[in-house]
């Protein structure tokens, strides 16, 4: 009997101990490590997003004048027109599609931007780059103005010019009249798109004058800062265009203006930037290496802003 009593006591103590012991928390499996992200085209270190065209800009000291290999240059204060730097600024030369700033300025100032424009057959009679306008299509004048400045379409320039003045020749006369009004004394335009023609020329100084007036136009300034534009063709097709001005993508202070290239003119860029309420315009003409047009403009704009913010 005593044996059974002792056995019952031991069993009771064991059961009590089992009920009193806390249950161990269930162990959660360790979270799986995420797979490494696949490198995108933009992030691949050995392949820039657009090889041979532009690269992310290296750091430099904006207080030190960077220099440039472009053949003609003007850097100026966009608020006052004061020239901060110039190089061969009065030498006449071809300026390529940067002269579309004049085409755009005339169209913007004359208004009726929400009126439809009907495309005529001769509008497409030009070299690339072209939007592919077809006779009989209709587009808002404002939309044509946007694609002109964002993607630099030569047929669009012809369409706007012919619609405005009745012919390319008469629009060129309006361009030259406007140039004289702006004080562009060493400029002569022969077409609205900048394709090479005998007797067509300007200077870095004159293009800076034009840029100052275009920059002060609210309609144009809003368009020129557009990075990506959706275009709706008359046929119903839709496509997207990136701005030809790559500074807008890689330089956060950049706020627009116009690119250009022909074999005669070389690579050209009229660009602008703003910081701390200061505004700078840079005109670079005749650069032979395309990648330099971006790096040199970035550095000169940065230098100009540094000068104005001292």
Active site residues: 97, 100, 152
What is the chain's alpha carbon radius of gyration, rounded to the nearest angstrom? 31
Q: How far apart are CA 62 and CA 304, in angstroms?
A: 8
CB atoms within 10 A of CB 83: 13
Q: Is 147 helix (H, G, I), strand (E, B) or coil?
A: helix
3-state helix, strand, coil in the chain (%, to 5): 40, 20, 45
Q: How far apart are CA 217 and CA 247, in angstroms?
A: 20
Residues 174, 103 contacting (CB under 8 angstroms): no
Q: How far apart are CA 82 and CA 283, in angstroms?
A: 14
Q: How far apart are CA 203 and CA 271, in angstroms?
A: 15
Tokens 């309006």: give the residue: 174
CA distances from 242 to 146, 152, 258, 307 (A): 12, 11, 13, 31
CB atoms within 10 A of CB 36: 6
């Amino acid at each position: 009997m005593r044996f059974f009593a002792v056995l019952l006591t031991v069993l009771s103590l064991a059961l009590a101990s089992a009920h009193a012991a806390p249950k161990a928390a269930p162990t959660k499996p360790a979270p799986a490590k995420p797979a490494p992200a696949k490198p995108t085209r933009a992030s691949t270190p050995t392949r820039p997003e657009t090889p041979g065209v532009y690269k992310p800009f290296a750091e430099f000291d904006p207080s030190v004048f960077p220099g440039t290999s472009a053949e003609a240059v003007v850097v100026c204060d966009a608020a006052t027109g004061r020239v901060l730097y110039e190089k061969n600024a009065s030498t006449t030369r071809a300026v390529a599609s940067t002269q579309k700033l004049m085409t755009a300025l005339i169209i913007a100032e004359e208004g009726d931007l929400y009126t439809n424009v009907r495309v005529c057959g001769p509008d497409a009679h030009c070299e690339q780059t072209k939007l592919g306008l077809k006779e009989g299509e209709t587009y808002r004048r404002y939309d044509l103005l946007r694609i002109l400045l964002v993607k630099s379409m030569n047929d669009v320039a012809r369409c706007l010019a012919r619609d405005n003045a009745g012919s390319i020749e008469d629009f060129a006369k309006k361009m030259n009249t406007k140039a004289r009004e702006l004080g562009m004394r060493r400029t002569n335009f022969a077409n609205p798109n900048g394709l090479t023609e005998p007797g067509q020329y300007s200077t870095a100084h004159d293009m800076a004058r034009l840029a100052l007036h275009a920059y002060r136009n609210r309609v144009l300034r809003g368009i020129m800062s557009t990075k990506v534009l959706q275009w709706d063709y008359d046929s119903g097709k839709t496509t997207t265009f990136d701005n030809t001005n790559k500074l807008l993508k890689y330089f956060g202070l950049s706020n627009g203006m116009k690119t250009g290239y022909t074999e005669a003119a070389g690579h050209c860029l009229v660009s602008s930037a703003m910081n701390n309420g200061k505004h700078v315009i840079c005109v670079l003409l005749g650069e032979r290496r395309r990648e330099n047009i971006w790096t040199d403009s970035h550095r000169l704009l940065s230098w100009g802003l540094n000068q104005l913010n001292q």
